[in-house]
Structure formats: structure tokens, C-alpha cells
Amino acid sequence: MASHRRPKQPSRARVTVLTTAAAAAVVLSAQAANAAPSEKPNKDEVKAKVDALYEQAEQATERYNGAKEKQEKLQKEISTIQDNVAREQEELNKLRDGLGSMASAQYRSGGIDPSVQLFLSADPDDYLDKASTLDQLSSQQVEALKKIQDKQRELAQERAEAAEKLKDLASTRTELGNKKKEVQGKLAEAQRLLNTLTAQEKAALAAKEARASRSAAARVELGLHLGSGRASAAFSAAQSQIGKPYVYGATGPSSFDCSGLTSWAYAQAGVSIPRTAQQQANIGTRISSMNDLQVGDLVFFFNDIHHVGLYAGNGQVLHAPRTGTVVRYESMSTIGGPFMFGVRV
């Protein structure tokens, strides 16, 4: 017999929940449909991000340069110590040979002195500490033993110093590798951003930079009055490199980074200055006001002093700016970081 029961109706609460959920789904769908896709950054935004990455890369480059310079210095010091050790070892061998000849002479004349025999079979350091045995040696033998003792101590000290410097060298090489990876990472990220630009956008940015460089060069010619001396010679040397590419860690003559250019330029003037911008900032006479700068003075930028160039007169600088550029003139107001001070070498 068929049932006449009515089907159970959903509760009012359940209907409310379902209705609310359906409405929310409709709203979310509408939002998703109407949401604008993420916009591609324009060329000016890309340039700003790329410039920031290049600045970070230059900071890392200066740290890389410092580690590289330290590595080269340690290698020279280690080489000198190793040469000293080899020479002192040879001198020690000659002293021992001399004492051995003395013992042979004693043997031929009636036997080896017990003290000398003991030396030949043991370390003289411990032996010479026993003052009572000195009476058994001739003055010549005492002198020979003391020379050997002193030479052994020198050798031990030199070898210990070499071992410490080798440890420092290993640590510096690790630091150098890390800094290199940091620079390469920043440059790769900058290149990835640049690759998002069209050929037309890249050309527009390049043209803008070229116009700025020409304008800076024109202002240099208007305000350029070369003096005499090494600053003038260094500036002239740097001028001869205009157009050479920026390469991090490079010191010329085919490519440069910022401190590589300044150190190379002064070297051509017969003046040796340190390798990195921070080191160069601590030499010569500091010039606080831009109004007191002279052509060829070193000029430093950014709070951490990671960029340096040569003052070109009339508010311009001659420098190696960053990756993707060449040695060129530029207004000091467009470097991207504040002018900190100058240095007259």
C-alpha cells in the first residue's frame, strides 16, 4: 500500500545557510571575472628597480674588491714566509753539518764528546736548558748549539705564522666566492627585469642616458680648467678611457669598476692609491664642500662610501657608473646617492 506521507521540508536555518553560500559564490565569481590582470611595470618602474639592484651590486663589488685585495696580499706574505723558511732551513742544515764535522774531528782525535753525541741524537733545546752540561762543551760547540737553537725557534715561529695566514687565506677565499655570487645574483636579477622591456623601451632608456652623458660632457667643457700636478695627470688618464665598459672587479685597461678606474688613473700619474672606494676615502686631504673641489679630486657618494669618481669641474664627475654603462661624464646630482666629500691626493 502506497505511503501518503509528505517529504520532509528542509529547515529554515538550512535554507538560510545555502542561500548565503550561493550568494557568496556569485559575488566571488563576479569579483574574479572583473579583477584586472596584474599590470606589467612600465619602463620607468623597471629602470628604478634595476638601478636599485645595480647599486646593491656595486656595494657587493666593493666588498668583493676588498676580499680580493686581501687574498692577493696574503698570498704575497705567505710566499715571502715560505721563502724565509726554506732559507732558514738551509742555514740550520749548515749549522748541523758544522757541528757534525766538529764531532767527526773529535772522534778522529780520540772519541766524540758525550755532550755532542747527545746533541746529535736529540733536540738541543732541552739539552741546552741543563746548564750543568755546558761545562762539558768547548766555547765553539756552545756557540754552535745556541745558533742551532735560535734558528730552530725562528723556524717554528715562521711556520706557525705561515699556518695562521694559510687559514686566513682559506677564509678569505670563501668570502670572495660568496661576494662574487652576491654580485652575480644582483646582476642576473637586474637582467631579468630588463628582459621584460621591449626593444623600443630599451632604446628609449639608452637614448635618455646618452643625452644625459652628452649634456654632462658639454658642461665639463664649459667649466674645465685643468691645473698642474698629479691630479691633472690622473684626470687626463681617466679621460683617455671614456667609452670603456664597466665590469665589476676590473682595474683596466680594457674595463673598469668605479674604484678600479680611480686607482688606475692615479697609477698612470705615478701615484699608488688603495684599491677600494672606502680605502681611498681615508687618504689625502678631505674636502667637505663641493665648491672647494678641483679637477682630478676623488669624489665619494652614498653613506657607506661605495662609489667613487674623479671631479670633472662644474658639478660633473668622470666615473665608471655601473654594469651596462661605460666610463663617462655625469652630473653629480644624478648619481643616485648623496655626495659625501672629496679627497685631494
**pLDDT of 103 over the 70 cut:** no
pLDDT digits (tens, 9 = 90+) for 301-319: 999 999 999 999 999 999 9
Nine-digit cell string for 55: 647599486
pLDDT digits (tens, 9 = 90+) for 106-134: 555 555 455 555 555 455 555 555 444 44
User: What pLDDT is recorded for position 79?
Assistant: 92
Per the structure, how many domains does the chain have?
A: 2
Position 341: which residue type? F
User: What pLDDT is recorded for position 120?
Assistant: 52
Residue 28 within a domain: no
pLDDT digits (tens, 9 = 90+) for 261-276: 999 999 999 999 999 9
Residue 269 within a domain: yes
User: What pLDDT is recorded for position 58?
Assistant: 92
Write the CATH number for 340. 3.90.1720.10
- Give me the active site residues, please: 258, 307, 319
Average pLDDT of the chain to the nearest whole number: 81
Q: Are 228 and 291 in contact (CB under 8 A)?
A: no
Q: 111 and 173 in one domain?
A: yes
pLDDT digits (tens, 9 = 90+) for 212-263: 989 888 888 656 666 558 999 999 999 999 999 999 999 999 999 999 999 9
Nine-digit cell string for 190: 637586474
Cα distances (Å, whole numbers) of residue 225 to 14, 80, 286:
89, 46, 21
Q: 293 and 176 in one domain?
A: no
User: What pLDDT is recorded for position 244?
Assistant: 97
Q: 214 and 121 in one domain?
A: no
Q: 264 and 289 in one domain?
A: yes
pLDDT digits (tens, 9 = 90+) for 30-45: 444 444 445 677 888 9
Tell me whether residue 53 is exposed, middle or buried, using C-beta atoms within 10 angstroms of its C-beta: 0 to 12, 13 to 18, 19 or more.
buried
User: What pLDDT is recorded for position 226?
Assistant: 64
Residue 322 within a domain: yes
Listed range (1-5, 44-48, 141-145, 249-253) with the worst mean pLDDT: 1-5
pTM for the whole structure: 0.68
pLDDT digits (tens, 9 = 90+) for 284-294: 999 999 999 99
Q: 286 and 173 in one domain?
A: no
User: What pLDDT is recorded for position 186?
Assistant: 92
User: What pLDDT is recorded for position 153?
Assistant: 87
Q: 213 and 176 in one domain?
A: no
> Any idea which residue has 672606502 for its cell?
278
Where does a domain end: 170, 193, 216? 193
Q: 233 and 169 in one domain?
A: no
Give backbone dihedrals phi and psi of 342, rounded to 5 degrees, phi first: -115, 170
Q: What is the percent of the chain where pLDDT is above 70? A: 74
pLDDT digits (tens, 9 = 90+) for 134-143: 455 567 667 7
**pLDDT of 96 over the 50 cut:** yes
Domain of residue 136, residue span: 43-193
Please provide the DSSP assignment of 222-233 as one string.
HH----SSHHHH
Q: 188 and 52 in one domain?
A: yes
CA dihedral 140, 142, 146, 147 (to 10 degrees): 10
Q: 182 and 97 in one domain?
A: yes
